[in-house]
Amino acid sequence: EIVLTQSPGTLSLSPGERATLSCRASQSVSSSYLAWYQQKPGQAPRLLIYGASSRATGIPDRFSGSGSGTDFTLTISRLEPEDFAVYYCQQYGSSPPSYTFGQGTKLEIK
């Protein structure tokens, strides 16, 4: 089973700053099968990025995803107040067919 490790656990930044969140896989992941989600307290997760770099419908272009192999990154170019939340990466693996999530990165206001 592929394990996803996200870092840092908590990231403290100010609005307007750039955020870089990391997701590292224990073995190579197909870029086509890597997604990122945002979750705010009391809400369901929201899909941000799929296929490592494709923005989901309605997601602002300040959110971007990149990476390949075992290292993936979610970048938020200029933080807005509504961006402070928990972010999860997720991968699909085919042997056996299953999804796993990272443990999450909390992005908090500094």
Partner 1 sequence: QLQLQESGPGLVKPSETLSLTCTVSGGSISSSSYYWGWIRQPPGKGLEWIGSIYYSGSTYYNPSLKSRVTISVDTSKNQFSLKLSSVTAADTAVYYCARNDFPGGGMDVWGQGTTVTVSS
Residue 95: C-alpha distances to residues 2, 69, 74, 88 (Å): 10, 16, 26, 22
> Which residues on neighbouring strands pair with residue 94, listed in sequence order?
97
Helices (H), the chain: none
| Smallest gap from residue 18 Cβ to partner 1 (A) | 24
Q: Compute the C-alpha angle 87/84/4, nearest 5°.
A: 15
Does residue 28 interact with partner 1 by CB under 8 A? no
Q: Which of 23, 65, 74, 90 binds partner 1 (CB under 8 A)?
A: 90
Q: Which stretch binds partner 1 (CB under 8 A): 20-28, 62-70, 75-83, 99-107?
A: 99-107
| Smallest gap from residue 53 Cβ to partner 1 (A) | 12
Task: Tell me which residue of 10, 21, 44, 37 sits closest to 91, measured CA to CA.
Answer: 37
| Total number of residues shown for the chain | 110
Does residue 59 interact with partner 1 by CB under 8 A? no
| Smallest gap from residue 54 Cβ to partner 1 (A) | 9
Interface positions with partner 1 (CB under 8 A): 1, 30, 32-35, 37, 39, 44-47, 49-51, 56-57, 88, 90, 92, 94, 96-104
